[in-house]
Amino acid sequence: MLEFDAQTTHLLDTVYQGADVTRRRQASFDALKPGPGETILDIGSGNGLLTAELARAVGPDGRVIGVDPSGDMRQSAIRRCRDFDWVDIIDGSTRHLPVADASIDKAASVQVFEYLSDIPGAVDEVRRALKPDGKLVVGDIHFDSLVWFSNAPERMARMLAAWDNHFVERRVPALLPPILRKAGFGVEAVHPITICDHQLKPDGLANMMMILMENYAVSNGYISQQEAGDWAAEQRSLAAEGSFFFSVTHFVVSAKKL
């Protein structure tokens, strides 16, 4: 799996404030409809961007709990949320959420479920934490929606196959609704957000994925440094000549505890 270490945390910190990832985070925020005084759980809170936005929305009468197993990510989230006394950033994971039964009004989890080996178990654990009628919002990419142009499609396919090893499940948005229904949730909406980049924007999702994919494929021995470097160089030269094309769809699944 991808290591959410200090280097990755720093890269995510920059790109997660860019337009692409901000739009995807905003979609989860809008689906959650955070209100004053609510208690909200941010599962896999990462560098705490959504956590801070939720903290502003619930205000000092509310509470936001960010849970993440990565110490580097938690440190980044703690720094970002230091002005909000009503935020706690806690070590934990979807296997055991460090909160009491039926204590949470709403929960969000953005770009986390793809890393889980037990999605039904995670859904049961969130259900335990939610109050009756509590809301769950899960945002994730369906990686079958990825379209990425290359004049060397076989090399592109090898890079994407290597990247597939960095997560557990590439089809979360399609698999989640039946899992939620089986666990006792009503599925209220599945909302697509397509991220399309024709420029290789410095703060874009495509640029972040290129850096992460090249490092991941080489450091795990899936692809040689030469081949991964050639792949990245082709994408940069396509961008320079105006032929870069990348598109992927992130889905926001909204559900209610029945």
Nearest distance from residue 27's CB to ligand SAM, in Å? 11
Residue 69 touches ligand SAM, criterion: CB under 6 A: yes
Nearest distance from residue 75's CB to ligand SAM, in Å? 11
**Can you name the residues that pair with 249 across neighbouring β-strands?**
142, 194
CA distance 94 to 127: 11
Strand order in the sheet with 130-148: 87-90, 63-67, 39-43, 104-110, 130-148, 246-257, 185-197
**Residues in contact with ligand SAM, total (CB under 6 A)?**
19
Near ligand SAM by CB under 6 A: residue from 27, 32, 63, 70? 70
Near ligand SAM by CB under 6 A: residue from 58, 116, 172, 253? 116
CA torsion through residues 221, 223, 225, 231, sign: negative
Nearest distance from residue 208's CB to ligand SAM, in Å? 10
Residue 4 touches ligand SAM, criterion: CB under 6 A: yes
Nearest distance from residue 164's CB to ligand SAM, in Å? 16
Closest CA to 25 of 224, 195, 154: 195
In which region does residue 59 sit, left (phi positive, over 0), alpha (psi from -120 to 50) or beta (all else)?
left
Site for ligand SAM in 176-235 (CB under 6 A): none
Collapsed DSSP state (helix, strand, coil) of residue 257? strand
Nearest distance from residue 1's CB to ligand SAM, in Å? 8
Stretch of 32-40, 79-87, 104-112, 234-242 contacting ligand SAM, by CB under 6 A: 104-112
Near ligand SAM by CB under 6 A: residue from 112, 159, 209, 210? 112
Show the CA angle centred on residue 230, arms to residues 228 and 231, nearest 5°. Answer: 60
User: What is each CA distance from 232 to 163, 241, 246, 248, in whole angstroms?
Assistant: 14, 15, 13, 18
Give the interface with ligand SAM as residue ranges (CB under 6 A). Answer: 4, 16, 43-46, 49-50, 68-70, 73, 93-94, 110-112, 115-116
